[in-house]
Structure 1
Amino acid sequence: MAFTAKDVVALREKTGCGMMDCKKALTEADGDMEKAIDILREKGLAASVKKAGRIAAEGVAYAKVSDCGKVAVAIEVNAETDFVAKNEDFKKFVETCADTVIHTNPADVEALLATKAYGSEETVDALLKDKILTIGENMKVRRFARYEGAVVSYVHGGGRISVIVNFETSDEIAAKEEFQEYGKNVAMQIAAVNPTYLHESDVPADVVAKEKAILKEQIVNDGKPEAIAEKIVVGRLGKFFKEICLVDQVYVKDSNMTVQQYTDSVGKALGGEIKILSFVRFEKGEGLEKREDDFASEVASMVK
């Protein structure tokens, strides 16, 4: 029985196993999905297959800059409980994943999992399965981002939020301690205020149109005439941009200036120019369903 790439993906979704493992199992099973699942279990993957269905929304958001200072990586690796984030083996695995992204620049998570882990003869996927078996929780490499150039990284709250920022400036300025301090301050701003966009021009037209409609409705509901409402919307829209666009935000360490003004002042003080090119902010478990623990029921089940 023949099978397709979609069958491989479907088997991965059902079992949580790696793509190559799924492909080999389907080949051995002659395309029979249920038989392929049995093969994966028979090959010692049963523990990770069983755990793959459990919710992994805890873990850590991590970031680092390479030893050369030219590459920054942010990565999120999830587990079932917050306790695992404190596990040394888990921490080492996350850093290995980050180092692998730094040195191999994989295209996406699937490519990262298939890549030989930095400093190891095993793939990242094989190391992940080993951690699932030894630590005893479902784990997933959820996402990562990678920048090259003048970069900084920042981790907040022991791995609750990770940030990387990419700048455009001269090598001379990038090498200065004052620039590193500035970069960390910008990263901390991103962690604290959570901007959605870099510039006002980056905000999609449909987002602007939706906000305009909401603001107008609010103003009309307050009893203002529609003609006046249009003018008020323009003013309030400016406030909206200042809240969601990084460069327009009030700088948290000095409310007398924006992030753009802070950036310009540092560039001038260092004898050149600095431009923020892009940023990534990962918050652990963001958008994921959280596991609800009932410890009373768990203890009761253990003593039956």
Structure 2
Amino acid sequence: MNKISAQMVKELRDKTGAGMMNCKRALESCNGNFDDAVTQLRQKGLMIANKKNSRSTKEGLIESYIHPGSRLGVLIEINCETDFVARRVEFKELAKNLAMQIAASPSVKFITKADIPESIIEEEKRIELGKTDLDSKSQEMKLKIIEGRVEKRLSELTLMDQNFIRDSSISIKELIQNNIALLGENIKLSRFERFTLGEIQ
């Protein structure tokens, strides 16, 4: 077995947000293979997040981010289960990262795809159906391509589907799941608002 150094454990923790002992165990079980350990921890984080997903989140905090120049700002409400976790530095860092992500993602209007109104989905379909670049395709192929384009557009509108700006190898959904695994509580982003100077909401 490859020797697992403290530096390897620290790098894995920085990458995944998992606890030190979990990182050490993952590296040991993967014989020191960093990428395999990352995959294992993310899968574990997903399982933990799924188990905790139905638990009530009545605590949390309001976080803000003001972009340099003070022409763009974001307010978010992020919730957890207990006041103890709401005061944790990791939870506060997650909140700040989410607010910064929203500021950097002007196309994002919704938290999840489930939040997108049916009228917007139908409008995107109508736009794609009106394009003529697929006229030579069969009807079946045309509908399949349109479905893929609409799904891509909905992902652009959705925060959870964005790549994390500070680590593009994970999505915002995975970032939150990693923190659920780390902090041991369900975490939900409830709402956000982006403010641009001179724009009326």
What is the TM-score of this pair, normalised by structure 1? Answer: 0.43
1:285 aligns with 2:163: no
Pairing partner for 2:105 from 186, 193, 207: 193
Equivalent residue number for residue 69 of structure 2: 158
Equivalent residue number for residue 187 of structure 2: 274
1:242 aligns with 2:142: no
Equivalent residue number for residue 254 of structure 1: 167
SS in 2 for 1:257: strand
Q: Which amino acid aligns with 2:84?
A: E
Paired residues of 2:65 and 2:73 also in contact (CA < 8 A): yes
Paired residues of 2:60 and 2:83 also in contact (CA < 8 A): no
Deviation readout 1:105-126 (Å, 9 max, x if unpaired): xxxxxxxxxxxxxxxxxxxxxx
Deviation readout 1:218-253 (Å, 9 max, x if unpaired): 364563233311111221222112110111222222
| Bigger RCO of structures 1 and 2 (CA < 8 A, at least 6 apart) | 2
SS in 1 for 2:156: helix
Q: Which runs of 4+ in 1 moved over 2 A?
A: 216-227
Equivalent residue number for residue 43 of structure 1: none
Unaligned runs of 5+ in 1: 1-147, 289-304
Shift of 1:153: 0.9
Cα 1:188–1:237 change in 2 (3 A) is same
Q: Which amino acid aligns with 1:175?
A: R
Q: Which amino acid aligns with 2:155?
A: K
Aligned pairs, number: 141
Pairing partner for 1:230 from 143, 158, 171: 143
Q: What is the aligned-residue identity percentage?
A: 34
Q: How does 1:49-128 map to 2 (within 5 A)?
A: none
Shift of 1:259: 0.7
Q: How does 1:169-180 map to 2 (within 5 A)?
A: 169=80, 170-180=82-92
Q: Which amino acid aligns with 1:266?
A: N
Unaligned runs of 5+ in 2: 1-58
